[in-house]
Amino acid sequence: MSALLGAVTLGTLGALGQGDEPARESGWIPVELYLSSYVYLRGTVNGVATDIVLDSGAGATVVDAALAERLGLEEEGGAVTALGVGGTQGASFLGALDVELGALRLRVPRPVKLDLSGVHAQLGRDMPVILGQEAFRALVVDLDYPRARVAFRKPDGSEYEGPGHTVPLLLAPDGRFLVEAEVEGRRAALALDTGSGDTLDLFRAFTAEHGLLEGRSPVSEKQGGGVGGLLTSRIATLRSVALAGYTLSEVPAGFPAEAKGAFHTEAMAGNLGAGILSRFRVVFDMPRQRLTFEPGDDLHTRPFRRNRTGLHGQFREGAFVLGLVAPGSPAAAAGFATGERITRLNGEALAADTWRLVVRRWVEAPPGTELTLVDEEGRARRLVTADYY
């Protein structure tokens, strides 16, 4: 399964910390890596405690419409269109927000109100606030995935000291942050997206130019979702991906099949998600246009996450509803079909607040694991996990 939550393009909407109380350094702040990928921090917005997700792929800070209503935030400045991985979605500007993260005080001048209920349906967890690119543009963001912590620092006088490699941080025409990489030896400018739980998605133009799917086998499909709706992609395994002097082997990657959304562009080769980024301490220094990658101890030993069932879907009305059964997968061989409703997986009930964790645990189980799935009529079906792409 895949939840593509980054790459929300809204343009450069303002600068942080330009009011009476400028931004300050935070020191190290603990983070929760939900599903081992999504960076959740605990902070406050206008004095109200809330979860805040750090997303380098979001063109602006976003407040979920439900939270904006609960806080009584008023719209200012009219409507805007958000371009997400699934397509476009209507949004609106809000008045300035005061955000606190540890000792850090930020004033976000033009946040955006966006209905994130579709993201919640795919992720299995609320995403009340997304702290986007404004923070990365104004501050040095030191995101230490291996130690589950982040620090925000002033750009002046902040120098990295450690064994990592530093490379240029580039900008795409739409403002997304890029890093130069190599995909099976081909140069590729990849967007840096801490809001994506995937490893890598390679876009249609780059894929076609280099014939990356020609003769490649096996190839299957996956389904993800986020702002703008769902997105279907082909999925296969790359021999190698290299960035900042580090090379990773046998990397699962998505190849979006639909000509829509933020992934339909020729301005960059693809989108680099937390499936790769989380193997590093990544220091974003946009003010000086540089990136530092410091590898964790498990850079080459941690297996990449893989769906080994072929089941993709969302939780709706008390059940996990299948939206895609991947071709060539164990689920396809066992006769599963889209629209089926699963209520129990290997003896565990699927509930609104825990389904994503349960589904992930079992769909990514090691090859050869036998699973029993029970539908809402009580009928039990079995499949055995396997690698199929």
**Separation in Å, CA 318 to CA 356, 362, 377:** 13, 18, 13
Express each pLDDT in 380-389 by its tens digit. 999 999 999 9
- The total number of structural domains in the chain stands at 3
In a domain, 44, yes or no: yes
In a domain, 287, yes or no: yes
Q: Note the pLDDT of residue 158.
A: 72
In a domain, 13, yes or no: no
8 A C-beta contact, residue 275 and residue 198: yes
Among residues 152, 173, 193, which one ends one of the domains? Answer: 152
In a domain, 158, yes or no: no
Average pLDDT, the chain: 93
65 and 121 inside one domain: yes
In a domain, 205, yes or no: yes
pTM of the predicted model as reported, rounded to 2 decimal places: 0.93
The domain in which residue 280 lies consists of 165-295
SS (H, E, C) 263-306: CCCCCCCEEECHHHHCCEEEEEEHHHCEEEEEECCCCCCCCCCC
Q: Note the pLDDT of residue 192.
A: 98
The CATH number that applies at residue 336 is 2.30.42.10
In a domain, 21, yes or no: no
248 and 360 inside one domain: no
In a domain, 18, yes or no: no
- Quickly state the pLDDT bin for 23 (edges 50, 70, 90): low
The CATH number that applies at residue 60 is 2.40.70.10
87 and 183 inside one domain: no
223-241: average pLDDT: 93
148 and 107 inside one domain: yes
Rounded-to-integer distance, Cα 17 and Cα 330, Å: 52
